[in-house]
Structure 1
Amino acid sequence: MSPAPALSRPLVPHAARRLLTALLSALVLVAMLMLSPAGAAPAAGAAGDAWSGPAVRGADVSTDDEVTAQVTLTVDSLAPEVVSTGEDVTIAGTITNGTDQALTDATLVVQMQSRTEMTTTGLASWLADEHDTPLATVALQTLEEEIAPGAERDFRVTVSSDDLPLTDTEQWGPRGVQVALTQGYTTLTEDRTILLWNPGVRVSPTRVTAFVPVTASPEELVALTAATPATPEERAAAPSASATPTAGASAGAAAGGTTDPDGAEAAAGAAGSATGNAEGAGDTADGSDTANADSGRAQARSSDADAAQTLAALRERVLGLLELADDGVVLAVDPALLTALGLDATAQATASPSPAAEAEQPDGTDADRLRHALAAALEAGDVVALPWADADLSALAHLGEHGLIDSALERAADSATAQAGAGTSVVWSAGALDGAMLALLPDSVTTVVAAPGDVPVAVDLTYTPSGTMTLDGRTVLIPEERLSAAAGGSLLTDQGDADLSDLDAVQLLRGETAILTRQAPAVSRDMVVAVSREDAARTDPEVLRKRLSALTNSTWTQAQDLGSLLDSAADSATTGAEAARVALPDSATGEGEVTAMTLSAARAAATRLDSVASILSDPAGALGVSPDVVALSTSSAWRTDEAACTTMINQARAHGEAVTQALAAAPSSTINLIASAADLPVRIVSSLDQDVTVTVHLESSSTRLQISDDVTVTVPAHGQTTASVPVTAVGSGDVDLTIQLRSDDGENVGTPSTVHLRVRADWENVGTRILGGVLVVLLVAGIVRTVRRGRRTATPRERR
């Protein structure tokens, strides 16, 4: 075969080729823009108009799945979530097209496990897509309309009861459901969830008691110490220590002993011998200082606003958690947190008012809402008070801090939470339970909640035993590990853990409790579930409510209050029905425990804050909860964020420094002291919003000037006062006098300042001698003059 002749084409000039290349590039760019998600928005809208289901969400929705440039599918709801025999099931969810191509000719394939999972481990592993099981296809649905690039579309598939593989009633319980999106023979994406089948079998229900912590997260604890009752506007409006030099000079002159720097009229004091002459005015802030101050105030306002926002969210979260009180739910409350949020020990908790009463009365304060919520929780379920500040008793035991453990328990017993009716005999270990912690607990503690997974069973059993045991006269509650993780929204498998969707968390809780009940359907057991502190802090209370309801409101579970749980544990111990468990370790140090170094820093900060608090008329108004820094540093919350504890300690100390910076001795010009003894006037200025009582202490740079005694004065809020400090001069010369403001324990609690004095103690004596000499001379002169005037010449008559 001969080769084909070459095609002839006209020659294109070089300039024309460049123009043609530019035009082609422009066309390619326009095409790319038209195919981008932003350009696809009209197409998505058009597709939504033709779609038989819900309208398409905006194509500009940005999700993490879109960033990965793939198609994703999520199952959002099942109706019903627990299906009875003969019921249809509706599955709804969302498809997200994160690619740059339209999705067409796709099919939804719904499949269900043919048999029920027999173990909680297997159920969790299947949900995590770690293994496969036989699946029966129960529904197919073709998407008639395309899904534009970047768009989200809801789907809804109804599975007929006739197509569900639910026939053998012995296989009741959880069934895995998988929804896949296919295109031809290719599976684009899939999602798994769990459906519960309840054909009405009769079993002995598993008794469930769930513990929910009402504690603060590390971020919230930092916000608690950062917050101060004073508003940023109040602090910005407060006068500085050097804002009123003229008034200060007048006050000093009125007290006696100084003259105005500009030569004002001298005032006679008690000593009447100290005079001051201006040698230099106090320094004034330049432009850069003003800018720095403005910047500092702006940062303070921003920080306070952030802290206020965090605390407002914390208060609402606590109120929401208190509303979770119900049968089978035990709220473990940190009494220090409720106190910090405004719960008053002097105000007795009362039940929540009726809706009609609430309608007639205006909204109460935050403290009123908190008090009513606590009272309602106590009426609805079990509430226990944790050790003060939710102290990490395990860590303190490892450090040998007996005193801090006793203090935390005693303060909890005396707290407003306990006075309202919360129990104080329960503690909750933040770490692995060990003998060191139990050995340091007082007899008043009768119940200990261990960490999930602690104290494993020592023998092989075909079922999961009750999570209770008796040890050294105390009841130890052992939370079921997988249930506790699911209650907190985590899927725990042998390969790790992952976050669960709201639907999957609820269904996994139902499924795992069904499996536990199926293990021994004729034997009721006590299951303890403990939501971790971290999970409770990050989860919306309403989401937790749904999970707790799934735990306790099913035909195979029964809610059990704390008292019944403890009675059941005591019966098991008496009858020997307790499962044998591994012995506790003597000591089990865990990650994130408070260290001796951290406690040392907290104690140093507390010592400083105690000194500052002693001078204040309202310490809480200026320092907030900062003086309780040692107790706060022992909180169990720091196990998840050790660095935040250091931040909290530094912030607590900063509150004390803010007070000391607001107190100062006003600057003064050089003072001339010409007497051997005088009362030196010292003007103290405060920008605080409350009265303070300080001791004025002077330190001389030379022995020429000796300080007789310290003087204690009270400085009014946003005001000033003058202290008269007695001094004694024993020589002449220049002396620098340091003015310090101290608390009763001798610690400096104000900004010190220095005054320059010219001491001329001999001037008064010399002046007195000169004056005495002048008086003697005048006296002698007067006598001589008088004598001389008394000599008169006799008259002729007198001579006769």
Structure 2
Amino acid sequence: MTDTTSAPARTPRSRPLRRLRAAGRAALVVAALVAPMLAVPAHATPTPTPSGPELSGEADLTLSPVGNGIVRPGDQLAVSATIANGTEATVPATTVTLELGTEPIPDRSGLASWLADTEPAALPPVAEAPLAAVVSGADATSAIVVPPEVPALAERGAGVYPLRATAVVAGQTLAATSVFIVPDDAVAASVGVVVPITAPPGSAGLLGVDDLAELTAPDGELTAQLDAVEGTSAILAVDPALPAAIRARGTAAPESAIEWLARLEALPLTRFALQFGDADLATQVHASLPTPLQPTSLVSYLSPEVLADPPTQTPTATPDPTASPSPTASPSPTEPADDPEGTDPLPDLAQLTAIGNPTQAGVFWPATGSAGGDVVAALGATTVEGAPPLTLVPSDTTSAGSGNHTVRARATAAGAQLLVYDSEISAALHHAAGETDTPRRAASLTEATAYLAFAARESGGQPILVTVDRGTDRERVGLRTALNAAALAPGVTPAEMPVLTAAEPVDVGVGDIPADAPRVAELTQLLGDEAQIASFATILTDPALLTGRQRAEILQLLAVAWRAEPEAATAALTGHREQTRETLDAVGILPSSTLNLISYDANFGPWVRNDLPYEANLVLMAQPNDPRLVVTDRTEVVAAAAQNTRVTIPVQARIGNGKVTLTMQLYSPTGVPIGTVQSAEVEVRAEWETIGLVILVSLMVLFVGLGIFRTVRRRRARAREQAEASLEPEVRTDDPGPEVIP
């Protein structure tokens, strides 16, 4: 398991070549198991790499016990020794010597020291085997079997015993260490194994159709994960973004994805939900968030099929924690709603993200090694569905397990409820799950089995928890063999989640772990961008179309898997922030040309650009910088999706000529400024000549009218006087008067 060369670490070779070589080595080991002699050489033909692999610059030796190193009384000990040639020269043929310790390793600390020793002490030799020459970039394996009647192996008591293999190559001694385990039948322990069901990290809020098709194909990563856990007693930690991505697509989802989801729901395995996107909990706590972030809406991801015909969802009842789970028939994620009147609402978050039969609500699993006492306390202070949550932490971060001691699964820390998983066993299983090289995988499985032997002995009959941690390199065979190694270890019985949570807790302390400052700073930036999107989204009838997508993308960018790829994570963050800026700039006023106002009034028609796929409700405010122009200052605008919309603004000119600047700004209905301020020039020409002519003509008409009026009036007055005069009696001056008769 450990080699003693001082050259740089070996560079992994291509996976196809590894698989071919692994198949050859497995055949050799089987041959060694049935060989009746003390040391039977079995050679793998060195396989040169045709494409010239990247060489590590060293030759290394790996010692791999068969059967996870378990040797019961009366069994033979079978191992394989493999030399991988990472140099440019051919490694000459040599002999591999197997050495076997006589005394068992006393404890876990001794086991760790032996496996990590770069210069292990020599042990009594028990067998040898020849190894053929190895050309550059190739490897060769020799199998060695020690029969049970050999005195060095016979009558061994229960325990974990050291193994050492050596080979002299070009004058240098290569050495590798491992162990074999003689089981103690008096020791028994229940062991729970947590397996995350996750996709590779990404920046999209939900996986796309093409991604789903690739991941759920027969050789896809998600398919491999279900293949590995099916038929086991694993506890599943499911990313709820996976079923949400499939359900949101409706009938547009790939058939393989729909079948994958149905298969996940039907598995009779206990499970709990990870954070959406498997978001990094420690980073959220260190960013001073009061509670972990949750998705707010996924309506923007719903396909037209789902929007037109929402699926009918049946709520999943939480099973009795004291009973074993049984498969529950779940409706198809694309089954149309059985409602002739079409009254079924759209699926909500709970329906979209359901993982099927969760046995424990409110389980937090921070990235391994990221959660110190402050994170545990902060998470423990929250409540989920009215109950305190459980937080998973590795044993080496606790006071009880810091000295490489076994810690029972159920624990508390300053009132916070914990599930503690064994660090060393989990690390060995994780390495085995991601290893494509068969000898190296076998070495890791033996290491895990040895630690399990000590853990079972030290657990005091209490349950133990281990994990096969997150990773994008977990393969079907590697993950399955890792699960089998934990389940089939001597004295081990599977433990499901109810068994772990019901166990008597032990009080532990959790050490301090510094925050990942760059990730905290990145989250702070993302939250600032989210606040801007929330304000901007008020232009939509349903702001969740933007805010829900933004939150989902933030959670995906916080995925634990990004911790292993910091450069790719930075690139993804940069791309996301650029998209956010593009979204904030998706609505605005297009630049306008100069308007020549040659009449008293007119309509000014600026264009509003809307690059969003949604209709936008806006208010256009316009303000001239000169009183010579009168403008309607507030105009409501409904900007059509993904196009430019013409806006009509009435303008009027007052007396005077000149250039007027019209300033325009868009706002949301709630008063949030949208886009940048735009200005337009208006040339005002008031036409004084026309106005003066009209006034002059009006005055002339007035004067003529007055003259006519006066003339007519005088004539009428004269005529009236004449008429009055003609009506008076005539008086004669020569009339002598009346005659007087005396």
- TM-score norm. by structure 1 comes to 0.63
Deviation at 1:563, TM superposition (A): 0.3
Between the aligned partners of 2:207 and 2:489, the Cα distance in structure 1 is 47
Deviation at 1:482, TM superposition (A): 1.7
745 and 649 in structure 1: CA distance in 2 versus 1, 3 angstrom threshold: farther
Between the aligned partners of 2:398 and 2:297, the Cα distance in structure 1 is 28
| Cross-structure match for 2:715 | none
Query: Quick one: which of 579, 582, 597 aligns to 1:655?
Result: 579
Query: Quick one: which of 189, 203, 215 aligns to 1:206?
Result: 189
444 and 105 in structure 1: CA distance in 2 versus 1, 3 angstrom threshold: closer
| Cross-structure match for 1:382 | 270
Deviation at 1:553, TM superposition (A): 1.9
| Cross-structure match for 1:431 | 371
| Matched letter for residue 544 of structure 1 | L
1:648-687 equivalent positions in 2, closer than 5 A: 650-674=574-598, 677-687=601-611
| Cross-structure match for 1:758 | 683
1:7-46 equivalent positions in 2, closer than 5 A: none
| Cross-structure match for 1:483 | 425
| Cross-structure match for 1:737 | 662
Cα deviation code 1:658-708 (max 9, x no counterpart)? 235554544443211245654321233445555444333334444544542
| Cross-structure match for 1:237 | none
Cα deviation code 1:55-90 (max 9, x no counterpart)? 3312656456x442x433334673675344444555
Between the aligned partners of 1:431 and 1:486, the Cα distance in structure 2 is 21
Larger Rg: 2
Matched, 1:441 2:414: no
1:303-322 equivalent positions in 2, closer than 5 A: 316-318=220-222, 320-321=224-225
Between the aligned partners of 1:629 and 1:722, the Cα distance in structure 2 is 33
| Matched letter for residue 644 of structure 2 | Q
Cα deviation code 1:352-382 (max 9, x no counterpart)? xxxxxxxxx9994476255324413xx4212
CA RMSD in angstroms, aligned pairs only: 4.9
175 and 759 in structure 1: CA distance in 2 versus 1, 3 angstrom threshold: farther
Q: Is the 8 A contact 1:326 1:381 kept in 2?
A: no
SS at match of 2:461: coil
Deviation at 1:547, TM superposition (A): 1.6
Q: Is the 8 A contact 2:59 2:86 kept in 1?
A: yes
SS at match of 1:445: coil
| Cross-structure match for 2:464 | 527
1:614-653 equivalent positions in 2, closer than 5 A: 614-615=538-539, 625-628=549-552, 650-653=574-577
Deviation at 1:206, TM superposition (A): 1.5
Cα deviation code 1:147-175 (max 9, x no counterpart)? 44x25242332414144833224235x44
SS at match of 2:125: strand
Q: Is the 8 A contact 1:328 1:381 kept in 2?
A: yes
| Matched letter for residue 636 of structure 2 | T
| Cross-structure match for 1:510 | 449
Between the aligned partners of 2:509 and 2:83, the Cα distance in structure 1 is 51
SS at match of 1:135: coil
Name whichever of 637-646 and 465-474 sits farther off: 637-646
Between the aligned partners of 1:99 and 1:652, the Cα distance in structure 2 is 43
465 and 726 in structure 1: CA distance in 2 versus 1, 3 angstrom threshold: same
Between the aligned partners of 1:53 and 1:455, the Cα distance in structure 2 is 46
1:250-265 equivalent positions in 2, closer than 5 A: none
Between the aligned partners of 1:103 and 1:628, the Cα distance in structure 2 is 53
327 and 103 in structure 1: CA distance in 2 versus 1, 3 angstrom threshold: closer
| Matched letter for residue 192 of structure 1 | T
Deviation at 1:508, TM superposition (A): 0.9
SS at match of 1:489: helix
107 and 539 in structure 1: CA distance in 2 versus 1, 3 angstrom threshold: same
SS at match of 1:513: helix
Between the aligned partners of 1:487 and 1:637, the Cα distance in structure 2 is 17
Between the aligned partners of 2:68 and 2:563, the Cα distance in structure 1 is 40
Deviation at 1:557, TM superposition (A): 1.2
Q: Is the 8 A contact 2:380 2:415 kept in 1?
A: no
Deviation at 1:53, TM superposition (A): 4.0
Query: Quick one: which of 66, 70, 77 aligns to 1:78?
Result: 66
Matched, 1:417 2:353: yes
Cα deviation code 1:239-277 (max 9, x no counterpart)? xxxxxxxxxxxxxxxxxxxxxxxxxxxxxxxxxxxxxxx
1:441-460 equivalent positions in 2, closer than 5 A: 441-442=382-383, 443-457=386-400
Between the aligned partners of 1:396 and 1:621, the Cα distance in structure 2 is 24
Deviation at 1:722, TM superposition (A): 1.4
Deviation at 1:503, TM superposition (A): 1.9
| Cross-structure match for 2:324 | none
Query: Quick one: which of 544, 552, 556 aligns to 2:491?
Result: 556
372 and 55 in structure 1: CA distance in 2 versus 1, 3 angstrom threshold: same
**Whose helix proportion is higher, 1 or 2?**
1
| Cross-structure match for 1:333 | 238
Q: Is the 8 A contact 1:393 1:437 kept in 2?
A: no
635 and 712 in structure 1: CA distance in 2 versus 1, 3 angstrom threshold: farther
Between the aligned partners of 1:732 and 1:362, the Cα distance in structure 2 is 62
767 and 211 in structure 1: CA distance in 2 versus 1, 3 angstrom threshold: farther
Q: Is the 8 A contact 1:125 1:131 kept in 2?
A: no
124 and 754 in structure 1: CA distance in 2 versus 1, 3 angstrom threshold: same
| Cross-structure match for 1:56 | 46
Deviation at 1:441, TM superposition (A): 1.8
| Matched letter for residue 485 of structure 1 | A
Between the aligned partners of 2:561 and 2:198, the Cα distance in structure 1 is 8
| Cross-structure match for 2:339 | none
Between the aligned partners of 1:525 and 1:775, the Cα distance in structure 2 is 110
1:530-541 equivalent positions in 2, closer than 5 A: 530-532=467-469, 535-540=470-475
Q: Is the 8 A contact 1:342 1:366 kept in 2?
A: no
Query: Quick one: which of 408, 412, 419 aligns to 1:466?
Result: 408
SS at match of 1:694: strand
| Cross-structure match for 1:108 | 96
| Matched letter for residue 375 of structure 1 | E
Matched, 1:167 2:170: no
732 and 504 in structure 1: CA distance in 2 versus 1, 3 angstrom threshold: farther
| Cross-structure match for 1:371 | 261
Deviation at 1:627, TM superposition (A): 4.3
Cα deviation code 1:295-318 (max 9, x no counterpart)? xxxxxxxxxxxxx87996699545
SS at match of 2:493: strand
Query: Quick one: which of 526, 530, 533 aligns to 1:606?
Result: 530
SS at match of 1:669: coil
Between the aligned partners of 1:683 and 1:369, the Cα distance in structure 2 is 48
| Matched letter for residue 638 of structure 2 | T
| Matched letter for residue 156 of structure 1 | S
> Percent same amino acid at aligned positions?
20
Between the aligned partners of 1:153 and 1:340, the Cα distance in structure 2 is 45
SS at match of 1:156: strand
| Cross-structure match for 1:695 | 619
| Cross-structure match for 1:256 | none
Q: Is the 8 A contact 1:606 1:627 kept in 2?
A: yes
- TM-score norm. by structure 2 comes to 0.68
Query: Quick one: which of 96, 100, 108 aligns to 1:120?
Result: 108
Query: Quick one: which of 141, 145, 163 aligns to 1:177?
Result: 163
Deviation at 1:510, TM superposition (A): 0.9
SS at match of 2:408: coil
| Cross-structure match for 2:727 | none
Between the aligned partners of 1:164 and 1:540, the Cα distance in structure 2 is 40
Structure 2 segments unaligned to the other structure (5+ residues): 1-23, 25-40, 299-347, 434-438, 712-742
| Matched letter for residue 108 of structure 1 | V
Q: Is the 8 A contact 1:629 1:649 kept in 2?
A: no
